[in-house]
């Protein structure tokens, strides 16, 4: 094995512009970091790796660990959220039920960057083993929960775990040649099919066709997390701390770690995202809880930014990778994946409500319709990744986003027409999924490969951050339109019936979920049918407005797609990471230390 830096011989082949990009993303102590690494912890060319490595237990087992982690982490939210009402009926009712999903989302956002950044510094293996174990504990607690508060406790564990385990796009990228990163990404998406595109279908099957009901989702999660733990432990042996830092003891690295920055990041991000998530849903935007948390989070973020920029502690490297914000190619695809995925979150949130309130589907057919956006988004991500392998990311990303914008905008034409709307949703989600699948994998290219975890963690966080803001916007738009449309359309629908005008407010409250439809003076089954048609029209108008609001996010994603650059062909055969066997680990550590 040649003792050389992964940059040797590759940057020499780059254009002047590409070299400038590398200079922008370099940090002041990069040379020191490279000298710290043992050769076994550095990247290598495909020609240096024996073919037997690709079908060895180490590689196949590690790839299985990545895929099973993606499967298990997706299920923590995807399987549970469709059954919230059933869960609340069983172990509730509780006003805290909204925290079941919210806890998962908030903690996932927090741990994205933390896990990526720290695993770059201290090594990846035990981060993923511990992350899977945390998910396993959360699944067991969820399966045994006897109250909503206990279930929220389970989601704390599952949320923390998911931020660590949804690392699929940068860990799979790290262990294959750069030219196969898109295909590796597609492979991990295939693992996630049961808990990602088919999550709603599988969840309803557990609820309606098994004795375990919703607890069956957690039994499934226990099995998935257990397999992930086993695969990480037995097969995944990336460079250890001693290979990453030949000359720096761990106590010195801990001493000069930016602990203040870490605490400021966690606190300000958690509070700010909590306020955004509450607004327009759990509390009105003018609520003191929403305003207070958003302002406190924003102030904390400003303090954090100043701290990371100035960093008065001598010898301490900033926790937050500020240098990545100078990398235009990286920021373009990072923001693109955030705005593209916001379309997915909008449809996952709004489409089930449309199916229930506009189309009145039920049973197995209803759960199939619920799963449509997720199915199309994930299958689109797989297809988009395959296409980008052969064409590069730029042109297909532009094409997919342009088509997605057109179709998702057209879905606003007439939501009352289920067949037409469903066709636009299917095609739009497929296309935006294809663009997102390309973008999320492309975030791993224009960055220092020694810090791919940091870059991947930041990309994952920003993706969820933009999506959280988008969901808040969509929820507010929908609620505001429903508040004005339902009274108007129901009053219009019953205007020519025998219903007394004094009963209309009670009828409106009943359809708005603020009262009961029983025992309203003058209401008959025929009048309820007529009023329901008015309600369908009101709901379709609200959903149409959400589709139109979504065009703003689609439009930004389309603009960003034009800034996506094709990848450097000279790096096509470069492999950023390496997996060894347990038997070789001690020998490699000693060899690296002695060089």
Coil, strand, or helix at residue 514? coil
pLDDT tens-digit series, residues 393-403: 999 999 999 99
Q: What's the rounded mean pLDDT across residues 54-79?
A: 94
Q: Is residue 234 part of a domain?
A: yes
**DSSP letter at 320?**
S
Q: What angle do CA 95, 141, 84 make, to 5 degrees?
A: 35
Q: Are residues 192 and 272 in the same domain?
A: no
Question: DSSP state, 283?
Answer: B
Residue 557's DSSP bridge partners are: none
Residue 350 confidence (pLDDT): 77
**DSSP code for 319:** S
Are 308 and 219 found together in one domain? no
Are 424 and 440 found together in one domain? yes
Tell me what percent of the residues of the chain surpass a pLDDT of 70: 93
Judgement on whether residues 85 and 205 belong to the same structural domain of the protein: yes
CB 203 within 8 A of CB 80: yes
Q: Looking at the 3D structure of the chain, how many domains does it have?
A: 3
Peptide bond preceding 530: is omega within 30 degrees of 0, i.e. cis?
no
What is the rounded distance in angstroms from the CA atom of residue 324 to the CA atom of residue 320? 9
In a domain, 446, yes or no: yes
pLDDT of residue 426: 92
> DSSP letter at 574?
E
Top pLDDT among 256 and 431 is at 431
User: Quick check: is 164 in a domain?
Assistant: yes
Dist CA 463 CA 334 (whole Å):
7
Last residue of a domain, one of 275, 297, 318: 318
| 475, 529: one domain | yes
pLDDT(21) > 50: no
Please tell me what DSSP assigns to residue 575: E
pLDDT at 26: 37
Tell me, what DSSP letter sits at residue 356? I
User: Would you state the structure tokens that stand for residue 38, as one six-digit string?
Assistant: 């043992």
Q: Is residue 1 part of a domain?
A: no
What's residue 148's pLDDT? 93
CA angle 445, 447, 453 (to 5 degrees): 95
Give the Å distances, CA to CA, from 42 to 37, 223, 274. 7, 34, 39
Is 55 in the same domain as 166?
yes
Please indicate, yes or no, if residue 473 is contained in any of the structural domains. yes
Q: Is residue 444 part of a domain?
A: yes
Average pLDDT for 476-492:
91
Pair (530, 469) in one structural domain = yes
Same domain, yes or no: 475 and 528: yes
3-state helix, strand, coil in the chain (%, to 5): 75, 0, 25
- The CATH number of whichever domain residue 238 belongs to comes to 1.20.1250.20
Q: Which residues contact 428 (CB under 8 A, 6 or more apart)?
A: 343, 404, 407, 408, 410, 411
pTM reported for the whole predicted model: 0.87
Coil, strand or helix at 441:
helix
The per-residue pLDDT for 61 is: 96
Give me the domain span that covers residue 233: 32-248+574-595
Residues 212-260 have pLDDT tens digits of 999 999 999 999 999 999 999 999 999 888 888 888 888 888 888 899 9
Q: Is 16 part of a structural domain of the chain?
A: no
Given this model, what pLDDT does residue 23 score? 38
Q: Do 431 and 349 share a structural domain? A: yes
pLDDT of residue 28: 37
Higher pLDDT, 313 or 171: 171
- 351 lies in the same domain as 498: yes
What separation in angstroms does the CA of 500 have from each of 376, 495, 524, 537?
47, 9, 12, 22
How does pLDDT run across 463-474, given as a tens digit for each residue?
888 988 888 888
Q: Are residues 381 and 500 in the same domain?
A: yes
* 141-178 residue pLDDT tens: 999 999 999 999 999 999 999 999 988 899 999 999 99
Over residues 278-286, the mean pLDDT reads 83
Q: Is the pLDDT of residue 17 over 50?
A: no
Same domain for 491 and 354: yes
Q: Binning pLDDT at 50, 70 and 90, where does residue 595 land?
A: low
HEC per residue, 24-70: HHCCCCHHHHHHHCCHHHCCEEHHHCCHHHHHCHHHHHHHHHHHHHH
Q: Supply the pLDDT for residue 8.
A: 38
pLDDT at 369 over 50: yes
Asked if residue 401 is part of any domain, the answer here is: yes
């Amino acid at each position: 094995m040649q003792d050389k830096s992964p940059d040797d011989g590759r940057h020499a082949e780059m254009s002047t512009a590409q070299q400038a990009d590398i200079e922008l993303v370099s940090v002041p102590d990069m040379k020191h970091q490279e000298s710290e690494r043992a050769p076994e912890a550095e990247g290598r060319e495909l020609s240096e790796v024996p073919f037997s490595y690709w079908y060895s237990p180490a590689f196949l087992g590690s790839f299985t660990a990545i895929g099973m982690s993606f499967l298990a982490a997706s299920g923590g939210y995807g399987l549970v959220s469709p059954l919230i009402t059933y869960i609340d009926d069983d172990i509730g009712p509780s006003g805290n039920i909204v925290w079941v999903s919210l806890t998962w989302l908030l903690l996932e956002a927090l741990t994205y960057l933390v896990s990526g950044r720290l695993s770059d510094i201290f090594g990846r293996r035990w981060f993923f083993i511990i992350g899977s174990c945390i998910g396993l504990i959360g699944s067991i607690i969820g399966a045994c929960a006897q109250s909503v508060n206990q279930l929220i406790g389970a989601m704390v564990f599952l949320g923390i775990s998911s931020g660590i385990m949804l690392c699929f796009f940068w860990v799979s990228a790290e262990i294959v040649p750069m030219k196969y990163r898109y295909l590796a990404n597609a492979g991990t998406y295939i693992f996630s099919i049961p808990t990602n595109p088919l999550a709603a279908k599988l969840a309803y099957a557990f609820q309606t066709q098994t004795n375990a009901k919703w607890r069956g989702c957690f039994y499934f999660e226990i099995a998935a997390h257990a397999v992930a733990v086993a695969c990480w432990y037995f097969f995944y042996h990336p460079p250890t701390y001693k290979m990453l830092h030949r000359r720096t003891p761990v106590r010195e690295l801990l001493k000069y770690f930016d602990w203040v920055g870490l605490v400021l990041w966690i606190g300000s991000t958690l509070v700010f995202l909590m306020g955004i998530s509450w607004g327009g849903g759990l509390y009105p935007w003018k609520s003191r809880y929403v305003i207070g948390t958003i302002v406190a989070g924003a102030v904390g973020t400003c303090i954090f930014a100043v701290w990371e920029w100035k960093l008065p502690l001598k010898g301490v490297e900033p926790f937050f990778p500020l240098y990545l914000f100078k990398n235009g190619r990286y920021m373009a695809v990072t923001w693109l994946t955030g705005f593209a995925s916001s379309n997915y979150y909008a449809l996952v949130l709004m489409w089930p409500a449309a199916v229930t309130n506009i189309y009145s589907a039920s049973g197995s057919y209803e759960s199939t319709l619920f799963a449509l956006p997720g199915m199309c988004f994930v299958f689109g991500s797989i297809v988009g990744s395959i296409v980008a392998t052969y064409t590069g990311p730029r042109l297909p990303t532009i094409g997919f986003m342009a088509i997605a914008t057109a179709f998702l905008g057209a879905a606003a034409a007439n939501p009352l027409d289920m067949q037409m709307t469903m066709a636009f949703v299917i095609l739009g989600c497929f296309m935006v999924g294809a663009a997102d699948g390309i973008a999320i994998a492309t975030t791993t290219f224009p960055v220092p490969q020694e810090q791919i975890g940091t870059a991947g963690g930041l990309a994952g966080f920003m993706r969820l951050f933009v999506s959280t803001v988008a969901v808040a916007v969509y929820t507010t738009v929908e609620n505001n339109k429903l508040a004005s449309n339902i009274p108007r359309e129901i009053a219009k629908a019953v205007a020519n019936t025998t219903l007394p005008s004094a009963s209309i407010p009670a009828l409106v409250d009943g359809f708005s979920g603020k009262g009961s439809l029983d025992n309203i003076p003058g209401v008959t089954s025929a009048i309820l049918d007529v009023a329901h048609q008015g309600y369908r029209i009101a709901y379709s108008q609200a959903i149409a407005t959400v589709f139109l609001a979504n065009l703003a996010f689609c439009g930004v994603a389309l603009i960003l797609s034009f800034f996506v650059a094709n990848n450097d062909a000279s790096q096509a055969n470069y492999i950023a990471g390496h997996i060894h066997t347990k038997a070789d680990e001690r020998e490699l550590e000693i060899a690296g230390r002695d060089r």
